[in-house]
């Protein structure tokens, strides 16, 4: 995995960050910012605290980022882009080499696995009150795109009865929101990994699939993820 595509490291933070030679200073800064923003919020986190956690001077921090907003922007993008890439690549398999229900289930398992395994619960950051201005529009565009891909997959998997009453936009909003249950659970401890399967099956039920159709989708999803 190149450092270009992974701005947030996935390992646990080290006790002596200065000895971290595996990750670039930029990655270390983002890691510290993610931890502090999740714990204390954006406004309540001074850049000095981020620099201290990394073990560098505050001035060095500004060599890598113009300001805190730039760090938050990058973290927001990192919280949504891997999921978007995974869901898009699975959508590309439909209908030739995967059914919509199988691809949707696989996408959900992979997306929520990322959410449960990330070093910090930074997928929750988009709920910060500070993330409301135009400054973060490019993140919002990517999140909206993830919603649309999920909506299309959900719409393609849905039964006629569900497709007739729930739009793809609504289905997308419900699906992306259900994946985010993982981030909400992480606020109060480590969620039981069984939630990944429960969320994926719940989404298929929300699309109107019956028990037999869900079982088939799960079997296909396992093959798609191998």
Exactly one of 60, 132, 137, 138 binds its own copies (CB under 8 A); that residue is 132
Using CB under 8 A as the binding rule, whether residue 119 contacts its own copies is answered as no
Using CB under 8 A as the binding rule, whether residue 124 contacts its own copies is answered as yes
CB under 8 A: which stretch of 68-76, 83-91, 109-117, 157-165 binds its own copies? 157-165
Distance of closest approach, residue 71 Cβ to its own copies, in angstroms: 15
Distance of closest approach, residue 42 Cβ to its own copies, in angstroms: 7
Phi, psi of 22 (to 5 degrees): -75, -35
Alpha-carbon distance values, 30 to 10, 135, 147, 155, 205 (Å): 12, 18, 25, 36, 38
Exactly one of 129, 134, 189, 226 binds its own copies (CB under 8 A); that residue is 129
Alpha-carbon distance values, 40 to 51, 53, 218 (Å): 15, 14, 39
Q: What is the 3-state secondary structure (H, E, C) of 53-103?
A: HHCCCHHHHHHHCCCHHHHHHHHHHHHHHHHHHHHHHHHCCCCCCCCHHHH
Q: d(Cα 113, Cα 108) in Å, to the nearest integer? A: 8
Using CB under 8 A as the binding rule, whether residue 187 contacts its own copies is answered as yes
Closest CA to 75 of 107, 118, 112, 113: 118
Site for its own copies in 21-80 (CB under 8 A): 37-44
Exactly one of 97, 138, 141, 170 binds its own copies (CB under 8 A); that residue is 170
Query: Which residues, 6+ apart, have CB-to-CB distance to 163 below 8 Å?
Result: 155, 208
Distance of closest approach, residue 41 Cβ to its own copies, in angstroms: 4
Site for its own copies in 188-217 (CB under 8 A): 188, 194-195, 198-199, 201-202, 205-208, 210-211
Q: d(Cα 138, Cα 56) in Å, to the nearest integer? A: 29
Distance of closest approach, residue 149 Cβ to its own copies, in angstroms: 18
Site for its own copies, rule CB under 8 A: 37-44, 124, 127-130, 132, 140, 161-162, 165-166, 170, 173-174, 177-178, 181, 184-185, 187-188, 194-195, 198-199, 201-202, 205-208, 210-211
């Amino acid at each position: 995995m190149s450092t270009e595509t992974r701005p947030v490291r996935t390992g646990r933070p080290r006790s002596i960050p200065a000895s971290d030679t595996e990750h670039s200073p930029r990655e270390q800064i983002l890691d510290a910012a993610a931890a502090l923003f999740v714990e204390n919020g954006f406004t309540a986190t001074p850049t000095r605290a981020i620099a201290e956690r990394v073990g560098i001077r505050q001035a060095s921090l500004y060599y890598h980022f113009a300001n805190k907003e730039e760090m938050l922007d990058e973290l927001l993008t990192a919280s949504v882009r891997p999921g978007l890439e995974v869901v898009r690549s699975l959508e590309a398999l439909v209908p030739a080499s995967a059914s919509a229900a199988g691809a949707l289930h696989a996408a959900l398992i992979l997306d929520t696995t990322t959410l449960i395994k990330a070093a910090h619960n930074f997928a929750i950051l988009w709920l910060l009150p500070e993330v409301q201005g135009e400054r973060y529009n490019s993140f919002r565009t990517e999140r909206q795109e993830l919603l649309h891909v999920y909506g299309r997959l959900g719409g393609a998997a849905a039964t006629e009865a569900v497709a007739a009453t729930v739009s793809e936009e609504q289905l997308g909003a419900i699906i992306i929101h259900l994946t985010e249950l993982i981030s909400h659970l992480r606020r109060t401890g480590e969620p039981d990994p069984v939630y990944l399967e429960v969320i994926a099956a719940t989404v298929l039920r929300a699309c109107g699939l019956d028990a037999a159709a869900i079982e088939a989708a799960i079997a296909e999803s396992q093959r798609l993820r191998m």
